Amino acid sequence: MDPLAVLSQAAQERGFLTAWAGLGLPEAVQSRYQAWLTQGHQAGMHYLLEQAPARLEPTRRFGWARSVLVLAAPHAYPPPPRPPGGLRLGRVARYAWVRDYHLLLRPHLEALQALAHRLGLEARAYVDTGPLSERSYAVKGGLGWVGKSAMLLRMGEGSYLTLAVLLTSAPPPPEPPPYPNRCGSCTRCLRGCPTGALLGDGTLDARRCISYWTIEHRGIIPLRLWEGLGDWLFGCDICQEVCPWNRKARAFWAGFSPEAELAYPNLLDFFELSSKAFERRYARTAFLRPGRTRMARNALVVLSNLSHPELLPLALKAAQDVNPVVRATAAQALARLGEGALLERFFQDPDPAVARVARGLRGAL
């Protein structure tokens, strides 16, 4: 019995698209990634630099590993109905409309890992948590191509694909022919990106990426970037929304169920809940990665960009927040409103960084 076929069938029975690839990455892929890091396109994600050797050569950590089973769960599900009440403004990236995909996929990966062990293989499963280049292995295994949007694409499912991998000690199958690159001369994603984050070669500059600033960046968002963030509260889907291959994208993985409270969260939660209450309200969701602090920060940016009347009362509320990032963002929002007189309350802030931000904003008015 071929263990690769058994594992593939088991994964497909669970609703996943599958592809096998050998563990070694082509030299061109490694060189390109190293150049991307050298140019600083990872922004503040310093862990990518630290993990680069293991990411490019997984055998540094797992000497037994020889092959990778790539799993893809399509998430092109339709939006749920908008719930009533609350202050429900700003957009959330589609993948976050469901409970945290790491947690949803993990039981399936653990089951496949256990099956691999029963088949006499060494195995280790990852759901976007280890230093592995999932997209590179997906391409190597013929699952799709990396488009100009820097996303993995395939006909039928488009780019709405959540990836996971299973490392195994099994010898890899023969490498399949490459999946045809169907981007052609289309540049809709490049033209659609409001911040120019897409570089046109299948990579992006995280220093310009809305998803980076709203999810990964831990500190204050510079005012010069606010306009480009538009009404994105968490992540960004613009490059996917404009992609022709996503017009008829399918979502058929049964483990994903969009929730209205995640697609359209109540912004008031981020100002009225404590961090502990926030964690309880949004348990097992992607919102825990930025946490209450950064979600409140993002909400102020969104309300400012929308010129919403709730901005002033919420900025004044945020001025009393326990977190200095929220207080500093409130100062930025008030300055953008032209409320220079209200900035004085920040000049004696207990956090020197907040006071410096406020004084700098006063000089800019």
Catalytically active residues are 128
302 CA to centre of own chain = 18
Nearest to 101, CA basis, from 337, 275, 259, 220 = 259
Task: For 67, list phi and psi in degrees, rounded to 5.
Answer: -145, 165
Residue type, 3: P
Which runs of E-coded beta strand occur in 41-200?
A: 67-74, 91-92, 123-126, 145-146, 152-153, 161-168
Alpha carbon distance 313, 337 (integer Å): 12
To which H or E segment does residue 232 belong? strand 232-234
Tokens coding 224:
């010069």
Buried b (16+ CB within 10 A) or exposed e, 124-149: bbbbeebbbbbbbbbbbbbbbbbbbb
Tokens representing residue 45 in the block = 């994600």
Angle, alpha carbons 49-220-130 (nearest 5°): 30
- The number of angstroms, rounded, from the C-alpha of 172 to the middle of its chain's C-alpha atoms is 30
Of the chain, the end-to-end C-alpha distance in Å amounts to 73
